[in-house]
Structure formats: structure tokens, C-alpha cells
Amino acid sequence: MSNETIADGKYVELTYKVIDQKSGGVLTQVEYPLGYVHGTNEVLAPAVMVELEGKSAGEVIEVPIDCNQLYGPRDESLVITERIQDVPEEYQQVGMSILMENDRGQTKTFLVTRVDKRSVTIDGNNPLCGREVIFR
């Protein structure tokens, strides 16, 4: 972007990290630039979009984000534990994504969060629910 600044309608590429405010651990790191058109896509959190406005190439921002505002509070009804023998073997691994469909045909992605000898637990909440993070 040379000397241009970020504004609505401009194509922007950026890399970022999402850092847990409590632990300081990196939750997500995107090293290959994410491209988007500023002001037209809802790719990033609104607070991040506001902070990027007017910035130039190479500038670093840090934006605190309460993920409950983005994704809503955790919904424990979206955490399901099944007997391991009732779960296909390919889904018996922590980190696997499972696309589920309800009776109305709506789909939702669940993540396998726990596997033991007897059961598999899946969670349909966004992994960032309940966390406060820093977008850098």
C-alpha cells in the first residue's frame, strides 16, 4: 500500500495474531496475508475495522476484544457428550470439525474438544466464546 492509508473501498492485506488477555498465549496467528476490501466486508471485528481506518502499511495496532460481544455468551446446550461407540472413528480426535444439521435443515460446525475411553465431547460454541483477547 506504499504511502496510502486504509479507507473505505481500499484493498488491504494484513497479518495478525489473536492473543488471550489472561494467559498472554497466542490463540491464532495468520502469517499469510488476509486480503479484504475495507468497509465492505465483515471479515474482521468492528473495533478492529475502526482502529485500522487511516493506518498505513507497516503500522501495528492492538485492539482489545470481548468475544462475548462478537459471538454471544457460551451456550452449554451446544456442548454434547456421546458414547465413543456411537461416534464414527474419523471424529474421535480432538480438533476435528463436524458439520451437524438440525431438524429444520440448519447447519452448524461443532469441534471435538475431548475424547476419552468412554466418550467424545463436541462443542458448537465459537472457540473464543467467553474470552477476552487482543487483536494485534
Kindly report, residue by residue over 110-134, the tens digit of the pLDDT. 999 999 999 999 999 998 888 889 9
- Domain residue spans of the chain: 11-71, 76-123
User: Can you list the positions of beta strands (E) in 7-131?
Assistant: 11-20, 26-37, 63-66, 79-83, 97-101, 107-115, 119-123
Contact criterion met (CB below 8 Å) for 122 and 112 = yes
Half-sphere exposure of 85 (CA within 13 A, CB side): 0
Question: What CATH number should be reported for the domain whose range is 76-123?
Answer: 2.40.10.330
Tell me the per-residue pLDDT of 41-99, one tens digit each, with 9 for 90 and over: 777 888 999 999 999 988 999 999 998 888 889 999 999 999 999 999 999 999 999 99
pTM over 0.75, yes/no: no
**Could you give the 3-state DSSP secondary structure of residue 28?**
strand
